[in-house]
Structure 1
């Protein structure tokens, strides 16, 4: 990338030039684990991300001074965190790991740009916009020829509402690395989409889908771009394809996009994406759940039903067993075969809300419905992260 940067008229920093001139580690086995981790992480597949963390750990154990491995580990972890892939790692430990790995990388190499880029991403998700911009600008100053650093700048500027600056950054990243990873190319596609460059968005997101066809999130984002371009048939096909590729709740509903996209500084930017996805047929709730409004509970009914009680039931998909124990003060614990979350539960209007360290501390709210089906009744609670069919057992 150093030669490309020079060809583009960009002068690498002294630290960047020095880093490119030396191997990142003298331990070949550690380097092999690092390269394998990078390759498997770049697709954005959940199984690949999980494997990458293990490979990074092995590289770091073999060479505890391998700064680039710690930095790449932090970058992958922060992606898991910002995408709310809680089936890989819960939000709180993911956030802690990202900070620790980035800090270790910076301790080993104070001139490394990526830790500041990672910090900027975490700050913008926390809606600390000015701090985030300062962090990624420092990253770019340290590594102007690094495509991932430019993508981080684009990501931060996108959510901060600076569309022109975001587009400039991703254009630079694409010139530095025409073969961006699907993870980073999706960011470029989002920037073009929000900017109104529908053709550029479609081009980037089609490449993303083609490079990672098993990642439903990417194909769903492409559906939004098709919808913005007026290609509704293609949009609906893309969303259907994306939903078919997903096995766990993620960006599979409008409610998830609203909650995960709450860091957009300009509400109209999020509304643009949600409206496009609605046109493309993305359902309101995970797994296409719909409830009968005639059977929807009011706030007082929800409070008397759940506060101070234990709810036992099953989760979509696959109807895996789950329990939600709620104290009278709202302190609660949710447990399934794959999740254990401590949280606070409250009723807000006619919605039941869960608040935990997941979802960046944002309340995840949804309705509760009385079930009148052949399964014996009971209730269904749905929000952006779950569809929970339950009965009250105590």
Structure 2
């Protein structure tokens, strides 16, 4: 994001001017406002993000802490505000792009319109996202964020729609562009690393890229969510749990990608044999994105581990309703995990009643 320098924005400190006037003078789309009150040894800070074009609230929250712990409070405040602004602005920008006339859409608008379809992670929605991203890239061929999401969408289509080698090649091509030598976009880097990790299993190189993305924006729920998934897939259990919980701390309740850290936690606990925790997080992933098939597989396998046959069968039934072409054999052929882990998961899915 392009952020106005503090000295420029503080020129309006204490002013009663209309937010639309301030936004116009600073030439920004959004304003972050706040106030601080102190009572005894307690501090209360209110913060709100405002759309400068309409003067409407996009996001607001309140933070409290002891004045004696002001540095810890400042760190927490920064983390939570920056972590909340990213998805909040993204939602607001998506709505702004939706309101534009089709003939006036530019590469950024098309990219924004593609995001909800990509986040849904289902075959029909994936195809819609790819159509919009192709138009975006046509208008701006070096748009790394669009290439990152195109890589993820082709990866989605490859893994959940027939393992077509053409889709795999397209995913890797776009991932390589997103990870290009001049790329400093932590979002594109995170997605590109995730795609390459799933399709090549070169986990060490992908973890290095994810660490670089997190260093660039250490308050990005998206980066920590993708890092948690790659860590879970590569059996880095401690890192997966840490990064998943970090993503959840940064993620607002309505962030469409909150199912990522929940999936990472479900898979980590499933691999560790802690089936009650695996089932709990798989259920949360299902709730966060009911149209995404994979959490139902984790939920079914978790209930098999717990001996809850009826619950396992119910999850397997729901899995097939969401993804009618899902089968144990096709899932094994995705080769996402080491063979012994994949076989253990396949055995549990067969027990749950998933078709071979």
Q: Sort the TM-score into its range (normalised by shorter chain).
A: 0.5 to 0.7
Residue 206 (1) aligns with residue 280 (2): no
1:96 aligned residue? 169
2: distance between equivalents of 1:28 and 1:63?
A: 12
2: distance between equivalents of 1:106 and 1:214?
A: 29
1: distance between equivalents of 2:77 and 2:331?
A: 36
Aligned pair in 2 of structure 1 residues 105, 243: CA closer, same or farther (>3 Å)?
Answer: closer
1:131 aligned residue? 205
Residue 7 (1) aligns with residue 81 (2): no
Residue 53 (1) aligns with residue 130 (2): yes
Q: Give yes or no for contact 2:172–2:196 (8 Å, CA) kept in 1.
A: no
2:50 aligned residue? none
Report which of the two has the higher share of helix.
2
Aligned pair in 2 of structure 1 residues 209, 10: CA closer, same or farther (>3 Å)?
Answer: closer
- The superposition leaves residues 291-310 of structure 1 with CA deviations (integer Å, 9 ceiling, x where unpaired) of xxxxxxxxxxxxxxxxxxxx
Q: Give yes or no for contact 2:229–2:263 (8 Å, CA) kept in 1.
A: no
Offset, 1:107: 5.1
2: distance between equivalents of 1:147 and 1:30?
A: 24
Offset, 1:115: 4.1
Instruction: State the TM-score, normalized to the length of structure 1.
Output: 0.57
Flag structure 2 segments of 5+ consecutive residues without an equivalent: 4-46, 48-60, 62-73, 98-103
1:279 aligned residue? 351
Residue 110 (1) aligns with residue 169 (2): no
Flag structure 1 segments of 5+ consecutive residues without an equivalent: 286-394
2: distance between equivalents of 1:66 and 1:127?
A: 26
Q: Give yes or no for contact 1:112–1:143 (8 Å, CA) kept in 2.
A: no
Aligned-partner SS, 1:161: coil
Offset, 1:109: 5.7
2:119 aligned residue? 42
Offset, 1:165: 1.2
Q: Give yes or no for contact 1:73–1:101 (8 Å, CA) kept in 2.
A: yes
Offset, 1:211: 4.5
2: distance between equivalents of 1:217 and 1:124?
A: 14
2: distance between equivalents of 1:183 and 1:53?
A: 21
Aligned pair in 2 of structure 1 residues 108, 51: CA closer, same or farther (>3 Å)?
Answer: farther
Aligned pair in 2 of structure 1 residues 213, 226: CA closer, same or farther (>3 Å)?
Answer: same
The one of 117, 123, 139 equivalent to 1:62 is 139
Q: Give yes or no for contact 1:124–1:132 (8 Å, CA) kept in 2.
A: no
Aligned pair in 2 of structure 1 residues 132, 233: CA closer, same or farther (>3 Å)?
Answer: same
Q: Give yes or no for contact 1:42–1:182 (8 Å, CA) kept in 2.
A: no
Report which of the two has the higher share of strand.
1
Aligned-partner SS, 2:162: coil
Offset, 1:51: 0.7
Offset, 1:48: 0.2
Q: Number of matched residues?
A: 270
Instruction: State the TM-score, normalized to the length of structure 2.
Output: 0.62
Higher relative contact order, structure no. (Cα contacts within 8 Å, ≥ 6 residues apart)? 1
Q: Give yes or no for contact 2:224–2:247 (8 Å, CA) kept in 1.
A: yes
2: distance between equivalents of 1:192 and 1:132?
A: 22
Offset, 1:196: 4.1
Aligned pair in 2 of structure 1 residues 171, 192: CA closer, same or farther (>3 Å)?
Answer: farther
2:241 aligned residue? 167
Offset, 1:172: 1.3
2:108 aligned residue? 31
Aligned-partner SS, 1:42: helix
- The superposition leaves residues 244-293 of structure 1 with CA deviations (integer Å, 9 ceiling, x where unpaired) of 33333x3x22x333332x4434x55334423432332223x2xxxxxxxx
1: distance between equivalents of 2:197 and 2:205?
A: 7
Residue 237 (1) aligns with residue 311 (2): no
